[in-house]
Structure 1
Amino acid sequence: MNHPPTQSWQGEIWLGDDHCLLLGSVARTAPHEHYAHQVLIGLDGPIEVALGDQYQLGPMLLIPSRQPHAILSHGARCLTLFAEPLAFDLGDLAQACELAGNHPQHLAEQLQTWPRRPLPPRLASALQRIRTLDEHRLSARELASTAALSISQLERLFSGTLKLSVRRMVLWQRLRIGIQLALGGASLTDAAVAAGFADSAHFSRSVRCQFGLSPGSALRNLRLCTLG
């Protein structure tokens, strides 16, 4: 099952604040893991995934947050959902997909109105600040001050509630920004710098680690659409 990655994903992608949808042909990927939960729905047949050391084949596959996996299907038409676990439980995502009947617009509407997980107010304040990242560095001290916490308290809050460090959450948001800019037409270098990466190589390494493909391979044949 050690298939090499295909050239690219192809299709349309819709980006929300805490989720995104991809409708099109999936590509094989190298093993990887990411913060988002992932749901894969085969539109013409089952989807193949290596989930850790287990092989899975089915019409709808659920991949939990930070679960190592690799996409094995080659060119299969698929509806893919990525959603942040700070907002959604994986079971809720499966229910939303079933209610939407595998229709991307219906699923987008379901997710826009789906109740989000309640978060402690100080964690919500810190996350709101992370959402406003730009090319400048965000220090742990500044973020802790935003949440009216010490740095150690902030780290415990993130690791205890989100099962993720502050640094990795900031990286996840920078990846989202860089990907959105690249999908919007920016060069990888410009997207990387605007998202706060040291250079395009740093951005590319992070995308490959999180999604199993280089940003060029992952993004070149995707068309950015608007949710709502």
Structure 2
Amino acid sequence: MKAQWSGRLWLGHDYGLIIGELGRTAPHAHYAHQLMFSCGAPITVSLQGLVITAQRLFIPSRQTHAILDSEGEVSVLYAEPAVFDIAPLLQQELSLEAVRQLPRRRLDDPRLERALAALDEQLTGKVSAQALAQAAHLSLSQLERLFSHQLGLPVRRLVLWRRLRIALHLALAGSTLTDAAHGAGFADSAHFSRTMKQLFGVTAAASLRQLDVRLLT
């Protein structure tokens, strides 16, 4: 199985959809829920230490997994857990139109909305958790509890996830890896690459350049 991924990638604000041939990955865990479907040969993955082979696979947020084997065209959806409920995803056809019509969940806590808005404003530089707490009118400990309970991630991990999403957007739009890294607030391209490998099990340079990308607003 090759390392490169090929096919089409639609990258939206709260999801990514790939339809094409998958490359192998190292073990990794990312924030997004991941749903994979093959209408041909089954896909083999390692999930939390178990090897599973099936035509349709669901990998919940933050579960360690690796793609071990795949042949032919596969559809892969990455969906933000804060936005999408699991039940509709499990019943979903993996097409662009179907994903666009999935119900979205709104954040119902204005404190969290204020903190996330402040986080996005700081992403290109150093993100201060204390500043996020002040923007949300919370103590630092209250902010951490809010992120962990509502989003399932501590502040630091969510900062990395959002930075990676921005860097991927920039790199896939044609920026060099160095410019994409700096534009997303990473110290350098090496930091971007390490985070990519940790969260997706691949490197951007080796795996994503073969994809035909459409960036969605």
- Give identity over the alignment, percent: 47
Q: Distance in 1 between matches of 2:41 and 2:76?
A: 14
Aligned to 1:53: 49
Q: How many corresponding residue pairs?
A: 217
Aligned Cα root-mean-square deviation (Å): 1.7
**TM value normalised by structure 1:** 0.88
**More displaced, 69-78 or 51-60?**
69-78
Aligned match of 2:98 in 80, 88, 107? 107
Taking the TM superposition and a 5 Å limit, the aligned residue runs for 1:71-220 are 71-95=67-91, 97=92, 100=93, 102=94, 104-111=95-102, 114-116=103-105, 118-220=107-209
- Tell me which amino acid in the other structure corresponds to 1:136: G
Aligned to 1:222: 211
**Once the 2 structures are TM-superposed, how far is the Cα of residue 152 of structure 1 from its aligned partner?**
1.4
**More displaced, 205-214 or 68-77?**
68-77
- Indicate conservation of the 8 Å contact 1:208/1:214, yes or no: yes
**Once the 2 structures are TM-superposed, how far is the Cα of residue 91 of structure 1 from its aligned partner?**
2.2
- Tell me which amino acid in the other structure corresponds to 2:117: Q
- Residue 62 of structure 2 corresponds to residue 66 of structure 1: yes
Q: Distance in 2 between matches of 1:133 and 1:144?
A: 13
Give ranges in structure 1 of 5+ residues lacking alignment.
none
- Indicate conservation of the 8 Å contact 1:47/1:76, yes or no: no
**Once the 2 structures are TM-superposed, how far is the Cα of residue 196 of structure 1 from its aligned partner?**
0.4
Aligned to 2:21: 25
**More displaced, 175-184 or 211-220?**
211-220
Give ranges in structure 2 of 5+ residues lacking alignment.
none
**TM value normalised by structure 2:** 0.93
Q: Distance in 2 between matches of 1:227 and 1:193?
A: 22
Q: Distance in 2 between matches of 1:36 and 1:30?
A: 17
